[in-house]
Amino acid sequence: MPERIFNFSAGPATLPPEVLAQASRDLVNYRDLGMSIIEMSHRSKDFIAVTEQAEQLLRELLDIPANYQVLFLQGGASTQFAMIPMNLLGAGKDKKACYLNTGVWAKKAIKEAKLFGEIDVAYSSEAEVYNHVPADGDYQVDDKAEYLYFVSNNTIYGTQFQSFPATHVPLVCDMSSDILSRPFDIRPFGLVFAGAQKNMGPAGVTTVIIREDLLDRAPENLPTMFKYRTHADQGSMFNTPPCFAIYVVGLVLEWLKNLGGLAAIERINKEKAALLYDTIDRLDFYRGHARRDSRSLMNVTFNLPTPELEAKFIQEAAARGMSGLKGHRSVGGCRASIYNAFPREGVEQLVEFMAEFAKNN
């Protein structure tokens, strides 16, 4: 068995080996300070520099304008499902927002938002097992909506918006499973958030990028920890931040910058995904779950002729050092998650195995 296997997990997901090596060195002795990165005060100048560096790299990579704040929060992406409507619907007279239901993560966000306002679900692909995302003309956005909420990449179903909704209201987006995988213009967005554990680093930190004018929409009586303003004013240090996770995110961002940034990683991601989709389309044996116009570069979902063959496929792949290929429990089938850090050689090995398995079965 090789030391590291090809890990197709949907998240927490594979990270660059050089990042892991650096993190393990710094875990014992950070920059010869004689202490670990996780033992120092979050208010020390060394750790503040780590946070500032991570923010700076993120600003650079995503080309974030000065009128946006970058926050590093806890509670996972799921906490944002509630924090967004709590803050952004708070002062709106109509307390209205528009949501696109393109999967379980969108649906969970809708459920939370309904606790705080009037939520218009302008589109749903639930009846088709979320096999696609809508195009602009497929839904209407209420003029009174404070924002349009959508999930750019639907991790479970392997669908992804190829372009972002064009609308007059601010966009709010869950980019947990595709942030930093391709360049995009953040200016139409009021808020973008992402849990780190797919494309950015380990679990434990959620990045929120919020336009400054949205910071003060929260009602007065919102608890301090739930106000974006609190975290924005304190440089994400109102309380102890998830130090280690932020530090590893910084290393991942540095790795990405050295690789050539988002244009370079998008090229690599497209090549990796094409290898898999070409195999699915070429061999009659496999059936892709996502509609072609909605296919994700990050999560490639497919079925085999029977659940028994799927189980055999997953088992044989694991025996060859390819793990994490089982689809999400809610849809079954197979899923290859190939985020930024997933190596091309792993995809090449998988498509080779797919061809062989189709021939032998």
Binding site per annotation, positions for pyridoxal 5'-phosphate: 77-78, 105, 155, 174, 197, 239-240
Tokens representing residue 51 in the block? 């946070």
Is residue 114 flagged as an active site residue? no
Contact with ligand PMP (CB under 6 A) among 165, 195, 250, 327 = 195
Tokens representing residue 191 in the block? 């808020």
Q: Does 11 bind ligand PMP (CB under 6 A)?
A: yes
Q: Does 102 bind ligand PMP (CB under 6 A)?
A: no
Omega before residue 12 within 30° of 0, cis: yes
Site string for ligand PMP, 144-163 (x = CB under 6 A): -------x---x--------
Spell out the residues 6+ positions from residue 264 whose beta carbon is closer than 8 angstroms to its own: none
The residue whose Cβ lies closest to ligand PMP is: 76
Minimum CB–partner distance for residue 91 and ligand PMP (Å): 26
* Sequence ranges of the binding site for L-glutamate: 43
Which of the stretches 29-37, 40-48, 171-179, 312-320 binds ligand PMP when contact is defined by CB under 6 A?
Answer: 171-179
Q: Does 112 bind ligand PMP (CB under 6 A)?
A: no
Q: How many CB atoms lie within 10 A of CB 315?
A: 11
Q: Which candidate, 226, 312, 247, 297, places its Cα nearest to that of 37?
A: 247
| Strand pairing class (96-101; 118-124) | parallel
- Supply the DSSP string of 84-140, one letter for each residue: HHHHHSSS-SS-EEEEEE-SHHHHHHHHHHTTTSEEEEEEE-GGGTT-----GGG--
Which of the stretches 39-47, 173-181, 312-320, 336-344 binds ligand PMP when contact is defined by CB under 6 A?
Answer: 173-181
Q: Which candidate, 113, 158, 165, 104, places its Cα nearest to that of 134?
A: 165
Give the end-to-end CA distance of the chain in Å, rounded to a whole number.
Answer: 25
| Strand pairing class (189-195; 171-174) | parallel
Q: Cα separations (Å) of 140 from 103, 136, 167, 191? A: 19, 8, 9, 20
Site string for ligand PMP, 229-268 (x = CB under 6 A): ----------------------------------------
Contact with ligand PMP (CB under 6 A) among 69, 87, 160, 177 = 177
Minimum CB–partner distance for residue 340 and ligand PMP (Å): 15
Nearer to ligand PMP, 78 or 361 (CB): 78
Contact with ligand PMP (CB under 6 A) among 176, 199, 207, 294 = 176
Given 26, 120, 178, 198, the catalytic residue: 198
Q: For ligand PMP, how many residues bind (rule: CB under 6 A)?
A: 11
Q: Which residues bind ligand PMP (CB under 6 A)?
A: 11, 76-78, 105, 151, 155, 174, 176-177, 195
State the catalytic residues.
105, 174, 198
